[in-house]
Structure 1
Amino acid sequence: MKGNCANEQKPKGEYNMSTFAIGHVLIKTNRLKQTASRYEELGFTVTYRVSPEKSHNAFIYFRDGSFLELFNPKPMNVADKLILALLRLLRPINPAMIKRYMHYIASKEGITDYAMDSVPVEQAEANLEGMKQAGARVGNKIKLSKKLPDGIKQTWWIAVFEDDTMPFLMSAYHPPIACLKHELAHRNGVRGIDCLVIDVPDLEAWILKYEPLGPRVNHSQQGKQCELFFEKQHKIILRKSDEYRLAEIHLLTSASLDEDLAIQPHESHGATLVLKQQPSCNFF
């Protein structure tokens, strides 16, 4: 997409903020194993970090450091209305996070949320504090952990904006677990994320929302969409529509394609994926 004007959008405040990239995109499923098998049929390598029998998520890792997370937000087979009732009682503990999790439970299968990571990752905590001091409406760190199969406890934190249409911020995992070579190799040739397409009712309002993340903004000639440029050559495309929706994930593949290959929601448990041939000058 070619634009007719480009301008730097700077966050309000005077802190020295590092840049961000898309860390991962969450794809909700009500049937994790079935969804993982389907993605394997589509040519992706799916990795579990804990026992598949106990896991509520699985990962598709890419060479650019990003990944897709297939996840079932329900910890047990309980009716949605009961889980939502419990979450309403817990809402005062962390209103923004509970609201986001309620959305996970109530939403349909498909693209549900996404995280932005600091580049470099060591700046994550400084970025969060700087954004808060500059007036961004983002909450405090929520510390998380899990025990890996080898018994090691892995920790990380997330922080969420009060506006649940915004991404959440995430630190690096500690200790980091390097991906094995075969976990990064996909039969369909996918190597990384190109962009996330988001339908929004008001382009200018959404551009302002992203100011704390400091993207470079490129408006399209038609005025129907705009591109937000981040590190790792990642983009978020805001596309004018009647309502907000996380619409599409565009992935770069080394496979030879005559045209972009669209994987429709009925083929991928609710997510629209578009495979695009990676430019020869853009290998990672």
Structure 2
Amino acid sequence: MLRCSHVLCKVDDIRSVVDDYRELGFTLEYGSAPERAHNALLWFPEGPFIEFFQLPSVFRLLKWPMAARNGVAAGERLARWARPDEGWRDLALETDDTALGRVHTTLRTSGVRVSRVMDGRRTRPDGAAVRYQFLATRPAALPFVVSAYSPPQRPTDVRHANGARRVGRVRLGVADADRAAFDSLAAHLGPGGPLTVEPAAATGVLGVELDGLNAPLAPGRLHGAALAGPGGRAAAR
């Protein structure tokens, strides 16, 4: 079974994001050494996390080489990630397995269109290597799939000065044209969890609700991330 792993937000300048979110009362950590990092992670004690990533638009030119190597779904996903402008860009679903071979076979057998399994790796700020696998789905607006991290990455003690405790809800809009493909993928989701689905003109993440916020969030410092308090109450003023 799959479950909600993390929500990805494309940003223009990862260092500005870290500075702004820390001033808003969040604890963020760079994905690698700060001087060369292209992503930052917003962890919670449990459940999904948020990943902010920086990717130049020129990477869209790698769509076809990526497709030739890993499948059309992978090329389309890269082009989607590299689109200009800040904001929610993707949603990852995860499994407990550290390898995706079994999941890949299961998804294909059930009619989900997927890329080849790809290997990922990064070096944390402390120098430790992190390995994982991922695969892309089609259409590219659907969630993609990641393995468990090796070794596990969630910090043992996560606290945010603004009171945020967890991602309470991830609102995913699904367009009519993508509904059948999404349903095939969603059949592999476990019960419960924060993911809710609603009709939308275009498929993608619509918003994320955080439980526990005790202060408003200045919208100009969120870098395109639509964040709200419990029940959809706007956290930004």
Asked if TM exceeds 0.5, the reply is yes
CA contact (8 A) 1:45 1:186 kept: yes
Q: Name the residue aligned to 2:235.
A: none
- Asked if the contact 2:29–2:42 (Cα under 8 Å) also holds between the matched residues in 1, the reply is yes
Paired with 1:164 and 1:146, the residues of 2 have a C-alpha distance of 24
Alignment root-mean-square deviation, CA: 2.7
Q: Paired residue for 2:11, among 29, 52, 62? A: 29
Amino acid at match of 1:234: P
Using a 3 Å threshold, how does the CA distance of structure 1 residues 42 and 53 change in structure 2: closer, same or farther? same
| Mapping 1:51-200, distance limit 5 Å | 51-74=33-56, 80=57, 82-94=58-70, 95-118=72-95, 120-121=96-97, 125-181=101-157, 184-200=158-174
SS in 2 for 1:69: strand
Q: Name the counterpart of 2:179.
A: 206
Structure-2 change in CA distance of 1:131 and 1:33 (3 Å): same
Partners of 1:265 and 1:91 in 2: CA distance? 36
Select which of 195, 201, 220 maps to 1:242. Answer: 201
Aligned mates of 2:120, 2:229 — CA distance in 1: 33
Q: Does the 8 Å contact 1:131/1:212 carry over to 2?
A: yes
Do 1:190 and 1:275's aligned partners in 2 also have CA atoms closer than 8 Å?
no
Cα 1:173–1:142, aligned 2, differ >3 Å: closer, same or farther? same
Counterpart contact for 1:154–1:175, Cα < 8 Å: yes
Moved over 6 A (4+): none
The match for 1:219 is none
Please name the residue that 1:77 is paired with: none
Q: CA deviation at 1:126?
A: 2.9
1:264 deviates by: 7.1
TM-score, with length taken from structure 1: 0.71
Structure 2 gaps of 5+ residues are: 232-237
The TM-score with structure 2 as length reference comes to 0.83
CA drift at 1:60: 0.6
Q: Which amino acid aligns with 1:108?
A: D
- Post-superposition CA distance 1:68-106 (Å, at most 9, x none): 1111023xxxxx3x4433444543223221221112222
Distance in 2 between the 1:151 and 1:51 partners? 8
Residues in 2 aligned to 1:130 and 1:87: alpha-carbon distance in whole angstroms: 26
Alignment counterpart, residue 251 of structure 1, candidates 197, 210, 225 = 210
Specify which of 217, 220, 230 is matched with residue 276 of structure 1: 230
Equivalent residues of 2:93, 2:146 under 8 A apart: yes
Report the CA distance shift for 1:145/1:242 in structure 2 as closer, same or farther (over 3 A): closer
Structure with larger Rg: 1
Change (3 A) 1:109 1:256: closer
Count the aligned residue pairs: 230
Aligned equivalents of 1:193, 1:21: Cα separation in 2:
13
Q: Identity of paired residues, percent? A: 23
Q: CA shift at 1:230, angstroms?
A: 4.8
